Copies of this chain bind each other. A is one copy, B any other.
Amino acid sequence: MLGSPRRNRIAERREATRLEILDAAWELAQEQGLAEFTLRDLAERVGMRAPSLYAHFASKHAIYDAMFGQAWSKYEQVALAELADLPQAPRAAIRRLARVFFDFAVANPSRHQLMNQRTIPGFEPSAESYAPALRVLELGQQIFRSIGLSDAADFDIGTAIIAGLINQQLANDPGGTRWSALLDRTVDIWADGVGLPPDPPTRTRLKTQPQGSHHGTPATRSTS
């Protein structure tokens, strides 16, 4: 028998085509809306006819499903990258993570619609595409516990609050900052409510560093 070749050129080309279709779909979703773009639009953008798309995806929902997986994988990367230099102080860390999630959502409303809302009639992500979303959720819960919180309900409240601000921002002031500007204050209200102690003061002119226990990493901030 022939051994399998080191590379599968056919599979590679197929995968490249899939990604090309998905890239075009993201473009169209931003330009026309997630539900508005048609398969004929999409096919034209990649130089095909609509039925040819069915050689790569079983249905329009299958395209949404692949996009769903891509979006959450992308956000997982962003979140993990953010963990590399997270502020030490718990509240500052939570504020940062909330901001990252908020900005990621607002930067691409169609993507947020796909990731976090049930707005495409009949669409439900497959288990495979849902996996990265679950990993991100688990990551959030880990961080939640790592700052000393334990009540799962408080975590749920936190996610609901941030999602609520995002939805209001996108629905009632798209492109503006009306609700974005309230994010830090809202996170602090939540932190007070769930009993997260205030961060130690870090005023620069005070040289004090009254940190009882010293976490490994200094609190260098990126410009985000």
Contact = CB atoms under 8 A, between A and B. Distances in A.
A170 B119 CA distance: 12
What number of copies of this chain does the assembly contain? Answer: 2
A32 to B, nearest CB: 9
Contacts of A170: 118
A182 B159 CA distance: 12
A157 B185 contact: yes
Contacts of A168: 156, 159-160, 163
A156 B171 contact: no
A193 interface: yes
A81 interface: no
A23 to B, nearest CB: 22
Interface in A138-166: 153, 156-157, 159-165
Contacts of A190: 189, 193
A88 interface: no
Interface in A172-190: 178-179, 181-182, 185-186, 188-190
24 contacts: A116-B171, A117-B117, A117-B119, A117-B171, A118-B170, A118-B171, A119-B119, A153-B182, A156-B168, A156-B178, A156-B182, A157-B185, A157-B189, A160-B161, A160-B164, A160-B167, A160-B182, A162-B164, A163-B164, A164-B164, A164-B165, A188-B193, A189-B189, A189-B192
Given A153-B185, A161-B186, 8 more contacts: A117-B119, A157-B165, A157-B186, A160-B164, A161-B161, A163-B167, A185-B193, A189-B190
